Chain A
């Protein structure tokens, strides 16, 4: 049927055009106005880090809505895909592979834990997909994987020394005991930072004990610590262990101050430790008391969603803002290399975390703070 052929051609052409438009631009190609920025978020929705993952999801979703709603990317819409890495390295690797090969994302956000990141990030580096970590705080083993790995979360090395210094100024202690998890990249790295910071402040460490993530009974370690009468207990742990440690420490009769690492920065910690959490000091990346407009807007948005934001929410929210800014700096291009190259151009961006930039080594740079649990809530400790 000769008359059918032009129709057939037109149909095929239309089909091809439709198909071409559904995938976001991969590789380094140019992107027309409008289009999709596909962000793959690998978060721990189940497992030991689930409490952080939930906060992060809230932050990411709020920021995505905000950016899409304000149409601040000249027609480019963010397509946020959230997958569960189950706080497991294997799952993290699986999710990354799916993001890279099946979903063909432009940029990956996450994973939640540094431990998962050390296993999964190398895949992204090899596949040349940019990764923006929003909660990996281990000083080594993250951004040093390669030039596609970036982070907006301050490392323990950037937060803990300040926290210890401030605590020493406020309380004044000459010796300390340390308890840390030896089976997690973050808690182990946190310990290294704490050890050095204490030494720098001329604090004598009278006892060091370890535990593992699955442990539930810390009485042996805490008893040994208490016997040495430390003036402060410094703990590097994830939220699940943190609440158990603090509760058991109080139960065993240790009444002195406790200072925790980034793992404590979750309302889940306060909820599970109950009254034992009172007075615990934590260094934090998010100054919740800041009155800067970006922070006020963030808090307002989260309140409207009925969510009580924590540091992880703030870092996740800021992560989307950073990616959006990178797209802008790249000339509204969403290619993987476009974003990766544009990250370095993000300077003094207004985020809930403060004015944000990347360091030359792709780490985060902004002012940290110290907070303390007062009446069941985190309160910023003023200068």
Chain B
């Protein structure tokens, strides 16, 4: 019995964590910026939190706070110059940042370099992850419909036009960049104290890509989209593991394949993510009905 619960607990925990990470990417996506820096921010948060609990025996809430704050502080001087770059160049710069963070940890002997930290005390409980997720979702939901929310949408649509309308686009973009960094850092601390370890390899380019995929697949135009994407893509490979094994497919490649195929399908056919599926289906049905009605 306990084993069964353990398995599901783990799944729910990772859905929550991936949801947080997806939301951290959403922060920048919702104002039209493609940033792949959040794996780096997650690493900074995770290491900070782990070092505090391991070496300074700090209470967990303090580790959580520091783990969210430090990446946010780093995001400010990084964001200001980097967010001036357009599209692809911003993406590349943030990829570069992620790699620099990873390599810095690999080369830092205080954190055991490439080996990372192990035997981190398990302090994360399932409820903590979900409370954090709910809080972030609530915050982002409040943003929608507010003046700031409209400003972000305007920036996303056409930044030059938004600026002529008097919206200080740089400030908004940096603010969302910093917010995303804080959320990613928080998720990092929570994960580190759930999986007992942190190592630079876990925060590389593929991690950053995973987060982006969750957000895009779920839908990056509404605050619950990324969480839906994270939940869907975390559960799917687990749910299909049995079927996969029956077909002779290993779980690793299967998960990767599903991620890729679903992402491709979404970007081609459902650009607003799977949460827009009901709307798209309804529109299709309406169109078909009206066509039939017209004979």
Stretch with Cβ within 8 A of A (4 or more), from B66-74, B85-93, B140-148, B192-200: B192-200
A residues less than 8 Å from B114 (CB atoms):
182-184, 212
Closest chain-B Cβ to A74's Cβ sits at a distance in Å of 30
B residues less than 8 Å from A183 (CB atoms):
106, 113-115
Q: Is the CB of B113 within 8 A of A93?
A: no
Closest chain-B Cβ to A149's Cβ sits at a distance in Å of 12
| Interface residue A295 (Cβ < 8 Å from any Cβ of B) | no
| Interface residue B292 (Cβ < 8 Å from any Cβ of A) | no
Asked if A122 meets B119 with Cβ closer than 8 Å, knowing A101-B2, A101-B6, A102-B3, the reply is: yes
| Interface residue B118 (Cβ < 8 Å from any Cβ of A) | yes
Q: How large is the interface on A (under 10, 10 to 19, 20 to 34, 35 or more residues)?
A: 10 to 19
What are the interface flags for B91-112 relative to A under an 8 Å C-beta threshold, 1 for contact and 0 otherwise?
0000000000000001000000
| Interface residue A185 (Cβ < 8 Å from any Cβ of B) | yes
| Interface residue A123 (Cβ < 8 Å from any Cβ of B) | yes
Q: Is the CB of B3 within 8 A of A101?
A: yes
Closest chain-A Cβ to B124's Cβ sits at a distance in Å of 14
| Interface residue A119 (Cβ < 8 Å from any Cβ of B) | yes
List CB contacts (< 8 Å) of B108-137 with chain A: 113-115, 118-119
Partner of A119, one of B3, B106, B113, B118: B118
What are the interface flags for A341-354 relative to B under an 8 Å C-beta threshold, 1 for contact and 0 otherwise?
00000000000000
A residues less than 8 Å from B119 (CB atoms):
118-119, 122, 145
A residues less than 8 Å from B202 (CB atoms):
90
B residues less than 8 Å from A102 (CB atoms):
3, 6
For the complex, count residues of B whose C-beta is within 8 A of A. 14
| Complex CA distance for A118 and B106, rounded to whole angstroms | 17
Q: Is the CB of B2 within 8 A of A119?
A: no
| Interface residue A318 (Cβ < 8 Å from any Cβ of B) | no
Main secondary structure of the interface of B (DSSP, over half): helix
Main secondary structure of the interface of A (DSSP, over half): helix
| Interface residue A334 (Cβ < 8 Å from any Cβ of B) | no
Partner of A90, one of B2, B6, B106, B195: B195
Q: Is the CB of B196 within 8 A of A184?
A: no
What are the interface flags for A164-186 relative to B under an 8 Å C-beta threshold, 1 for contact and 0 otherwise?
00000000000000000011110
Considering the complex, give the chain B residue whose CB is closest to the CB of A213: B114
Closest chain-B Cβ to A215's Cβ sits at a distance in Å of 11
| Complex CA distance for A212 and B3, rounded to whole angstroms | 37
Q: Is the CB of B6 within 8 A of A118?
A: no
What are the interface flags for B182-222 relative to A under an 8 Å C-beta threshold, 1 for contact and 0 otherwise?
00000000000001110100100000000000000000000
Q: Is the CB of A122 within 8 A of B3?
A: no
A residues less than 8 Å from B2 (CB atoms):
101
What are the interface flags for A149-168 relative to B under an 8 Å C-beta threshold, 1 for contact and 0 otherwise?
00000000000000000000
| Interface residue A89 (Cβ < 8 Å from any Cβ of B) | yes
A residues less than 8 Å from B113 (CB atoms):
182-183
| Interface residue A371 (Cβ < 8 Å from any Cβ of B) | no
What are the interface flags for B30-49 relative to A under an 8 Å C-beta threshold, 1 for contact and 0 otherwise?
00000000000000000000
Q: Is the CB of A184 within 8 A of B115?
A: yes
A residues less than 8 Å from B115 (CB atoms):
115, 118, 183-185, 188
| Interface residue A97 (Cβ < 8 Å from any Cβ of B) | yes
Closest chain-A Cβ to B271's Cβ sits at a distance in Å of 33
Q: Is the CB of A93 within 8 A of B197?
A: yes
Closest chain-B Cβ to A191's Cβ sits at a distance in Å of 13
Q: Is the CB of A118 within 8 A of B118?
A: yes
| Complex CA distance for A123 and B2, rounded to whole angstroms | 17
B residues less than 8 Å from A97 (CB atoms):
6
| Complex CA distance for A90 and B201, rounded to whole angstroms | 11
Considering the complex, give the chain B residue whose CB is closest to the CB of A91: B252
A residues less than 8 Å from B195 (CB atoms):
90, 93
| Complex CA distance for A354 and B114, rounded to whole angstroms | 36
Q: Is the CB of B6 within 8 A of A122?
A: no
| Complex CA distance for A326 and B6, rounded to whole angstroms | 31
List CB contacts (< 8 Å) of B1-33 with chain A: 2-3, 6
Write 29 A-B pairs (CB below 8 A) sorted by A numbering. Answer: A89-B118, A89-B197, A89-B199, A90-B195, A90-B197, A90-B202, A93-B195, A93-B196, A93-B197, A101-B3, A102-B6, A115-B115, A118-B115, A118-B118, A118-B119, A119-B118, A119-B196, A119-B197, A122-B118, A145-B119, A182-B113, A182-B114, A183-B106, A183-B113, A183-B114, A183-B115, A184-B115, A185-B115, A212-B114
A-B contact sample (8 more), CB < 8 A, given A115-B115, A123-B196, A182-B114: A101-B3, A102-B3, A118-B119, A119-B118, A122-B196, A183-B115, A212-B106, A212-B114
The 9 A-B residue pairs with the shortest CB-CB distance, nearest first, are: A183-B114, A102-B3, A122-B119, A119-B118, A119-B197, A118-B118, A101-B3, A185-B115, A101-B6
A interface residues (Cβ-Cβ under 8 A, vs B):
89-90, 93, 97, 101-102, 115, 118-119, 122-123, 145, 182-185, 188, 212
